[in-house]
Amino acid sequence: MSDARTPAQITADIARRRQELALTLDEIGVRVHPKTIIGDARAKAASAVDRTAGRAYVAVNRAVTDVRGQFVAPDGAPRMERIVPAAVAVVLVAGLLLASSRRNQA
C-alpha cells in the first residue's frame, strides 16, 4: 500500500486548504465587524423586550380575567352583589380625594 501523493495532488490540496482558510477568515471578519456586533446586540435587546412585553401581556390578561371573574358570573350575567359595593367604594374614594384636594387648595 502506497500513500504517496503526487506533486499535483499536494498542490491541489494546498489550494483547497487556502480557499477554506480564506473563507474562514472572511467569516471571522464579518463576525467581529462592529456593525455585526451592534446588530447582534440590538437583536438580543429587541428579543428581550419582546419576551418581557409578552410576559407582561400574559400577566395583565390573567389579572383582568381574574377581576372579570369576580364581577361576572360564568354564564355572563353581572354579579350585582359584588358590582354595587365596588361602585359605592369607588365613589366614596373619589369623593374623599376631591374633598381633600379642595381642602388643600383653600
Report yes or no on 55 lying in a domain.
no
72: helix, strand or coil: strand
Report yes or no on 49 lying in a domain.
no
Report yes or no on 101 lying in a domain.
yes
Report yes or no on 29 lying in a domain.
no
Strand partners, 72: 78
Report yes or no on 35 lying in a domain.
no
**pTM flag (> 0.75):** no
What is the domain extent for residue 105? Answer: 78-106
For 58-98, the pLDDT digits (tens) are 999 999 999 899 999 889 899 999 999 999 999 999 999 99
Report yes or no on 13 lying in a domain.
no
Report yes or no on 85 lying in a domain.
yes
Domain count, the chain: 1
For all residues of the chain together, what is the average pLDDT? 92
pLDDT range class, residue 2, cuts 50, 70, 90: low
Q: What crossing angle do the helices spanning 80-105 and 34-71 adopt, rounded to 10°?
A: 110
For 32-68, the pLDDT digits (tens) are 999 999 999 999 999 999 999 999 999 999 999 998 9
pLDDT at 11: 96
